Structure 1
């Protein structure tokens, strides 16, 4: 707050207001807002989580097992179902915004871009969601946003956890669109009603690619898993929670059985003491 001349930024007020409303096991908890000795000293007292998934994925010697991936995904979907039922879109879901406690509880964090929405849906700022997790309608300039942009991001997160690497690591918006087309096929009015009316749809020359290549990307994944991945890109959190993928073997492990990574935490604490990391995630 030292550099703020006009009080608390509106983005911070939005985030604080939303977090004070939210109470769910899979959403990071804002316990208290505390003012220090001076008015510009404001502290948010949050529930403590030992690690975030992005740094875990970078440092784990072996990837999460499929049972562990299911455990994580179920928790993300439960938190998201709660948000959407309360008419809130997160708008920045990615692995670095998913925290995990030593009890295996996954919590969605960072509500700086989150917004409450209503009916009818009003226009919102289009430049949201980190590029690798950004839904195609955002890339094509949609003026309105729905819960589908969060669901797209969850699809990218599930695929990243399964593959142990980002699904669509685009270097620019044009590259991101091309990667989506390569993976899922060229959009059209038949498979995406309203596609041609999106503001930027006519500005891109999309490659002709009629096939969905998810099965080639994940040849070892079950039919139920592939259906869920496809479904995530267009469904609701509640629908996805009912997926048969979570009911087939390997079954989701219990959160208490998730690994705790004490070595990773100790290593990260040492790195923090030595200086900031040079790696930059998009």
Structure 2
């Protein structure tokens, strides 16, 4: 019995994958004409699913079993690309800006394009439960709330160890807290309106994307030299649902001076109204050039709130008595609000906006969307264009305040001081 080079041992059990490979190997080149016996053995027409043996270029098509991906899976080009995080050494460190509870912020320069950025190093050295939830919430919130008045996140870079994780954000020259402290005079009414419109626009965008900031204050509002502010530091931010606060929410939120009264009284479910109370405190701080409630503890803060707004009543806050800590407080005697005495130069529309923001009942507190349409922003003086704002030296950029040389003081009168004319007379 004659054998050929392609003959296999009949005792070997061959699968369909083996047969396909062998057929490809045994197939003669396209330039050799197959024998009549082989052609006669393959008189059946090929199945519709089988590709043609050759192309116009004279090259064999790959077998369907040799496909680079399954026919049921779309090509990789339809999926988002997954790239590894860049190294932090892609940036040149310039100087440290500040250190907070959740990270240290540096100013740095991108070595590829020269952009100046802010690098926030997450504090992971003492973390025992894996990656901190606060950092995950901050990154998720910044990615969900991309807005012209929210600080932009660029990427996350890593160092040599697992504890070296940096969030790369846009660099902004100032924060409002430092600016209010260093400014020789407070903002004008037209400038305050512009800043408040930008803040309300950013807060409204966050709330529309189901994000609570929960730590709005002047030190977390950044401002560049073109009059644009950006909300930053989303370390306490979190996504919420509808209804708000299902399953309870922590009370350890919002810096004390900007904390809403419902949180001070132990509420475990709260809404976007806690951010609006903080906006009201920021509005007052822009007008007064100092924080509105500079309290040392929660009891003192409640006392200051009661003094400005008057003690809560069943009319002003129907749910007050149901709060956990309400029964432990003794309310002062009823008195009217003291807004007009506190803000002497604010217009009637401005007082109305302030009272709408600093309202006891969270259900009646004005929303960011409603505040943007308040008549205060359409009365004279109108909001100033951001490009018309003045510029200031940036402490974050390491710029020093320009030294102001004092002019000579007026001459003091001395008894033996002789005028020039007296010298002329004696000479």
Q: TM-score, normalised by structure 1?
A: 0.91
- Report the equivalent of 2:319: 194
Please identify, of 43-52 and 201-210, the stretch whose mean Cα deviation from structure 2 is larger. 201-210
Say whether 1:240 aligns with 2:363: no
- Report the equivalent of 1:225: 350
Query: Which structure 1 segments of 5+ residues have no match?
Result: 272-282
Between the two proteins, the alignment pairs up a number of residues equal to 270
Say whether 1:256 aligns with 2:256: no
Partner residue of 1:39 out of 154, 159, 162: 162
How far did residue 166 of structure 1 move? 1.1
- Report the equivalent of 1:155: 280
Larger RCO of the pair (alpha carbons < 8 Å, separation 6+): 1
- Report the equivalent of 2:153: 30
Q: In 1, Cα distance between the equivalents of 2:292 and 2:168?
A: 34
Larger helix proportion of the pair? 1
The CA RMSD over aligned residues, in Å, is: 1.6
Q: In 2, Cα distance between the equivalents of 1:214 and 1:82?
A: 29
Q: In 2, Cα distance between the equivalents of 1:159 and 1:268?
A: 29
Whether the 8 Å CA contact 2:174–2:396 is kept in 1: the answer is: no
- Report the equivalent of 2:80: none
**Higher radius of gyration, 1 or 2:** 2
How far did residue 219 of structure 1 move? 2.0
Whether the 8 Å CA contact 1:124–1:144 is kept in 2: the answer is: yes
Q: In 2, Cα distance between the equivalents of 1:223 and 1:157?
A: 19
- Report the equivalent of 1:278: none
Whether the 8 Å CA contact 1:181–1:209 is kept in 2: the answer is: no
Q: In 2, Cα distance between the equivalents of 1:81 and 1:220?
A: 28
SS in 1 for 2:196: helix
Measured against aligned partners, the alpha-carbon deviations of 1:26-59 in whole angstroms (never above 9, x if no partner) come to 1111111112233322111101100000001111
Please identify, of 203-212 and 238-247, the stretch whose mean Cα deviation from structure 2 is larger. 203-212
Measured against aligned partners, the alpha-carbon deviations of 1:105-160 in whole angstroms (never above 9, x if no partner) come to 10111111111111122211012111111111011111101010000000010011
Partner residue of 1:185 out of 310, 317, 339: 310
Say whether 1:56 aligns with 2:187: no
How far did residue 210 of structure 1 move? 2.3
Partner residue of 2:395 out of 229, 240, 265: 265
Please identify, of 114-123 and 244-253, the stretch whose mean Cα deviation from structure 2 is larger. 114-123
Q: In 2, Cα distance between the equivalents of 1:266 and 1:138?
A: 33
- Report the equivalent of 2:268: 143
Match runs of 1:100-111 below 5 Å:
100-111=223-234
Whether the 8 Å CA contact 2:199–2:229 is kept in 1: the answer is: yes
Q: TM-score, normalised by structure 2?
A: 0.61
